[in-house]
Copies of this chain bind each other. A is one copy, B any other.
Amino acid sequence: MIVQKYGGSSVATPEKIRGVARKIRDRVEQGRKVIVVVSAMGKTTNSLIALAGEIAADPPPREMDMLLATGEQVSSALLAMALCDLKVPAVSCNAFQLGMVTTGGYTNARIMDLNLERVERLMAERSVLVVTGFQGVTPDGDVTTLGRGGSDTSAVAIAAKCGCSCEIYSDVAGIFTCDPNRCSGARKLEYITYDEMLELSSLGAKVLHSRAVEIAKKYSVELYCGSTFSDERGTYVVHSLPEWLEQPVVTGVTTDNNQIRVTISRMPSAMEAMGALFRALADKGVNVDMISTVMENGHSHLTFTVVDAKEQVALQTVRASLAPWTDWSVSEDTKVTKVSAVGVGMKSAPGVAARFFSALARQGIPMLGTTTSEIKISALVPQERGDEALRALVDEFGLGE
């Protein structure tokens, strides 16, 4: 048994769907049973979101999920048809049928369980089960979705439950040292560790959904990322690199443009203010990143970043939660990019941060904020200099060809 996941661009047209079916058939002919997880065709999800926007300014999240879940049901039915047309015994299956139970957090639900018995029953006389990615149902039977990129999570969760390996196919041939679309000479990695992949995914690399990597790590799911459209070798995501492979100091660099920097000038000094602010943001589901504070002239200024989709919520929440205090002001800066370098090798190599900062400084790129972890360094830079910063880091850490 093996789980394969095909992304939206892999099933964007009837012709591509038939191509994916042939790829799956090859695997079946090697004697494998395959559970295939599919995303919605091409830009379907975006079109459905636009359609909802024409109906209501603020559609209820429950109905949004009911709407969006149809995209994967379409692609899974079509892929099952394409497989049957190739005489491969296949059947499609949605979240209800799979018993893919999630929390009730509409639009961003988390998988709690799935019904292995039903998987086995559906696959008993068949070679392929085509499962709708991205969706689940609450214990009460409401439709949920797992958030953008959630099909990766569906696939890895099924692989974890079935105790088999998982292959993620997309239009990118694997994991690269940096985004090949933004950075010429990006190098494909043969292996990357779960921890590094987790950082890269969280930091904006779009190849794998970070929750999928978390689950893969937790349940030691063998993970492979490759291209739908070619047979070239992709990247394995593993606990640790094979011993014969030298661990580089920095494995990859990535940028994230979807960041808004929020600055609160003259932050109220009352202890409760800071607590009230971050508690209110958490309550509204706003993830806060890159928090830093500076003292200046006896005043404390606070900055942090949030993803741009949360800009309005974040600003409203700041204003509401700090309303009991006076004299402060809030501003946002929409033109920032977060550049990050990730590598397990950092742990044992001193001076990586110095090299990172110097590389940017040499190009005269201002750093608007920084954060570091054991295996990651991030800096906020002006958005128009993001590509330049990426290039400087690729050169500094020898990530090009």
Contacts and interface: CB of A to CB of B under 8 A. Distances in A.
Contacts of A64: 77, 81
A116 to B, nearest CB: 15
Counting chain B CB atoms within 10 Å of each CB, the highest count among A58, A81, A85 belongs to A81
A256 interface: no
B70 A73 contact: yes
A141 B96 CA distance: 8
Interface in A23-53: 48, 51-52
Interface string A179-220: 000000000000000000000000000000000000000000
B55 A85 contact: yes
A66 B76 contact: yes
A84 B59 contact: yes
A77 B63 contact: yes
A138 to B, nearest CB: 11
Chain B CB within 10 Å, residue with most, of A51, A55, A97: A55
A341 to B, nearest CB: 42
B59 A81 contact: yes
A55 B18 CA distance: 7
B73 A92 contact: no
A80 B92 contact: no
Contacts of A77: 52, 63-64, 66-67, 70
Contacts of A70: 70, 73-74, 77
Interface in A88-124: 91-92, 94, 96-97
Given A63-B84, A84-B63, A55 B92 contact: no
A72 B340 CA distance: 44
Contact of A56 (B48, B52, B54, B85): B85
A55 B17 contact: yes
A55 B94 CA distance: 20
Given A63-B80, A80-B63, A96-B141, A85 B57 contact: yes
Contacts of A76: 66
B78 A51 contact: yes
B92 A66 contact: yes
Interface string A151-174: 000000000000000000000000
A52 B78 CA distance: 6
B84 A56 contact: yes
